[in-house]
Structure 1
């Protein structure tokens, strides 16, 4: 019997993953028909299978005719995630590494002081108090588009971003696989930095992982839609975040959030909807197109400022 979740007597039952009873899902293993969540899904020739069916619940080998009536054994294909990435022992490893990098660099910010932050945050063109001369991306410091993704303005800023990264990034990493997840994170963060550079005042600094995290939000929405999940909780959380983003007084770089969200939706769509034929080419090709857009925005703004 399926595990189901019901909020009230008579309410429509919603299946939950048989391995993670706290996660609702609309997807079932094509072999045993048990409901499975994205972390448990293994891409199969048709639909998805659960880890138990892949590793031992079904035929693990295929026999082909051989001489003398004997058969030759062919190993089954390596199990894959929804997006075609390899299944790993720790599906949240990369998320943990990213959180660790953010925390480590925040400690460096505290130890070194404001001069470190001013050297690596997004800023178009300005005189900074602790660094002599004009600084900014317009001066050729393009590395700021990347480094700003790992800096934070304070403990509260870091805490909320890292909690969001853990809650949203962990399941998404399990569903996409490490390489695709890292590509999504990188292009989303860079898109957020590029849009900030293009639209914000040239002397307005910006920093934080929220551009990349909004990209994860967007990709999660695409994945949930693909798997027929109830998207209302995600929409509610996204609306709350967008309200905070555009509320005066919070001093939030809305450009980074919007840029990351758009890049995340576009890249996430390619990740989960790419056909099996040439799947990796389509997925990483989309990432490359987003990076081209980032380069174009950056060059346009640099031309304006110089």
Structure 2
């Protein structure tokens, strides 16, 4: 006699919770219940059921984003302004000599100063200090952050020489910036951009050779990538596309001779900032976010000051 084979019970076919009998493999992004096409509403990531949409409307203040902050009427405005500033600095540098322009030496980030030829600042004397540089004619001392040129920590993020460099950075900013401003609001987006740039500068001070020169908005742009990754994880979205884009940029960083230190600092900084914004409790959210951003800014400042004291 043949023994009867055990057939495991099959899981029930998912049906729309509001319309029994309608098979649906789409689930609400927030509560996870199956919903049919008639019941689904497109959200920032995936779809939501009518109850979750109503709950979101009830708990979200009018004209307020999901992480606090007023919704921008034009989410691309901040990115347009940032692109315009970068373009203006690049144009001024190009018109005054490009790599030989004084802007190309006073605006980028120098951990320590450099002794350059007065007639051509693209040529310099390695190892010459400020005193030795001042003792010879035809030479000029260009200060670094350790010499008091603190402005370079932020102006370096708006400085470019090569047209391809600024083109790629501004293209990435144009694609990433409006998406993030639409979610976090204008003030938080600007804070994200500038703090990511400072985090990149701090990483350059600590991880790069003191006699290097670093410039470009890549640190801030990588901060936007890190922030977008955290926000996608927060809503349990598909991170595959952002990870692929990030991997391509990381590969280009190491194969193209670009400052990986600034990219790493910006990426980590942007991820931390996004975590502060996204995971702040709903109660007193704005206050927690503000204190978190101030605390992170103070941490960056302390790291910079400690490193500058070592270099000095």
Q: Within 5 Å, which residues of 2 pair with 1:217-232? A: 217-232=225-240
| Stretch deviating more after TM superposition (296-305 or 122-131) | 122-131
Change in 2 beyond 3 A, CA 1:47/1:225: farther
Match of 1:120 among 82, 87, 107: 107
Change in 2 beyond 3 A, CA 1:192/1:35: same
Corresponding residue of 1:37: 44
Corresponding residue of 2:94: 110
Structure with larger Rg: 2
Corresponding residue of 1:242: 250
Match of 2:182 among 161, 166, 174: 174
Name the CA distance, whole Å, in 1 between partners of 2:215 and 2:284.
36
Match of 1:80 among 45, 53, 64: 64
Give unmatched runs, 5+ long, in structure 2: 1-23, 32-38, 122-138
Name the CA distance, whole Å, in 2 between partners of 1:101 and 1:48.
37
Q: Does 1:298 align with 2:298?
A: no
Contact 2:113–2:144 under 8 Å retained in 1: yes
Q: Within 5 Å, which residues of 2 pair with 1:58-97? A: 77-97=61-81
Name the CA distance, whole Å, in 1 between partners of 2:245 and 2:40.
31
Give the superposition deviation at 1:200: 1.1
Corresponding residue of 1:255: 261
Q: Within 5 Å, which residues of 2 pair with 1:153-172? A: 153-172=161-180
Would you say how many aligned residue pairs link Structure 1 and Structure 2?
253
Task: Provide, for residues 248-306 of structure 1, a one-character-per-residue CA deviation record: whole Å limited to 9, x for no partner.
Answer: xx221111111111111111011112112121122122222221222122112212222
Give unmatched runs, 5+ long, in structure 1: 1-11, 16-24, 55-75
TM-score under structure 2 normalisation?
Answer: 0.74
Name the CA distance, whole Å, in 2 between partners of 1:216 and 1:232.
16
Change in 2 beyond 3 A, CA 1:45/1:85: farther
CA RMSD of aligned residues (A): 2.7
Contact 2:93–2:161 under 8 Å retained in 1: no
Name the CA distance, whole Å, in 2 between partners of 1:90 and 1:97.
12
TM-score under structure 1 normalisation?
Answer: 0.76
- The structure 1 segments of at least 4 consecutive aligned residues displaced by more than 3 Å after TM superposition are 12-15, 25-28, 44-49
Name the CA distance, whole Å, in 2 between partners of 1:48 and 1:261.
30
| Stretch deviating more after TM superposition (79-88 or 142-151) | 79-88
